[in-house]
Homo-oligomer: A and B are copies of this chain.
Amino acid sequence: MSKKILILAGDGIGPEIVAEAIKVLEAVRARFGLDLTLEEALVGGAAYDACGHPLPEETLAAARTADAVLLGAVGGAKWEPLPIAVRPEKGLLGLRAGLGLFANLRPAILYRQLADASSLKAELVAGLDILIVRELTGGIYFGEPRGVTRQESGERRGVNTLVYTESEIRRICRVAFDVARQRGKRVCSVDKANVLECTELWREVAADVARDYPDVVLSHMYVDNAAMQLVRAPKQFDVMVTTNMFGDILSDAAAMLTGSIGMLPSASLNADGQGMYEPIHGSAPDIAGKGIANPLATILSVAMMLRYSLHEPEVAQQIEAAVSRVLDQGLRTGDIMSAGMRQVGTAEMGDAVVAAL
């Protein structure tokens, strides 16, 4: 049966980078005889502009029946004056919640060909390969009560609520341990268990899950220390697992450590293996429409999609190998450009990956 892929280009550079990813997807479809149907829909600011809401019902419905979703990026200063309920970001959060995508996998990898791109001294990051597993449908992002109310004194008061149940913690920790088994067999659970009771529960449940994985080593770290250790000695980590909010912060820091955030894909999975795939970087409105954005993170997101939701690991590997060859050829978009390399635009990079397949 044909697998349905929903394409959500989104805002800013989203449409440009997604266009290159589609090129690659169509090339592998033809090359490997995959039975894929692509469908497109609106999300984010683009959806808000078209119909007043960042996640139209048709989009969520189409996502629900898709085998996988490919997302570009959402948001931009243009929509920042809007209330949170109709911001572009709400479209993304609505998809995560609506599809139950509780497990966000965010690799932070230093590409061999881009060894100099990091802000960190070379010896600290050579060969860096961390995977951050971020809880994505709970925590303070979704907890109730929330909002701003006016008190009797006339003063306003803003509230958000960090909430986790044992089962929410348990399932995300299981994902982390399962994936650690395929890698370095170490999980670092990040919390603030010395201050926040909710994350004291997190620590306890993580330790409990670890009992089912005697072959994987669990450590615990406070989030402030984790942020420090990522800067000091990032190679100490294999898999990190943490809450939605801490994961948001730490995964961006970790990705930036590699200096190649324009290269990093991500996967957001639910319990059925359905997934949404997107680059880790944002919508970069400042360079939108210029044809200079790096499409490789989105192309590598297609590879993750083939691996995790479409059960085509070999095709995934072919795409990853093609990206590696293009880097070996010296092709670079502006964000990863360095001396002696050949600078190319978004479309030229996409074409080069297709040619290298």
| Complex Cα spacing A224 to B250, Å | 8
Return the CB mask of A209-250 against B: 1 if under 8 Å, else 0.
000000000000001110110111100000000000110111
Closest partner residue, chain B, to A161 (CB atom)? B161
**Stretch from A61-69, A150-158, A300-308 forming part of the interface with B:** A150-158
Q: Are the CB atoms of B155 and A200 closer together than 8 Å?
A: no
Q: Complex: how many Å from CA A120 to CA B120? A: 4
Confirm or deny: A159 has a beta carbon within 8 angstroms of a beta carbon on chain B: yes
Give A190-211 as 1s and 0s: 1 = Cβ < 8 Å from B's Cβ atoms: 0011111111111000000000
- From 128 to 145 in chain A, residues with beta carbon under 8 angstroms from any chain B beta carbon are 140-141, 143
Looking at the assembled complex, report how far the CB atom of A244 sits from the nearest CB atom of chain B, in whole angstroms.
Answer: 9
> Is A187 part of the binding interface, using a Cβ–Cβ cutoff of 8 Å?
no
Q: Check A164 against B155 for contact (C-beta < 8 Å).
A: no
The answer, yes or no, to whether A114 is at the interface (CB within 8 Å) is no
CB distance from A249 to the nearest CB of B (A): 5
Closest to A229 in B: B256
Q: A120-B120, A121-B119, A158-B163 are in contact. Are A223 and B248 (CB under 8 A)?
A: yes
Q: Could you say which of A75, A158, A255 has the most chain B C-beta atoms within 10 Å of its C-beta?
A: A158
A residues sitting closer than 8 Å to B (CB atoms) are 75, 80, 84, 87, 89, 93, 119-121, 124, 140-141, 143, 146-148, 151, 155-167, 192-202, 223-225, 227-228, 230-233, 245-246, 248-253, 255-257, 261, 282
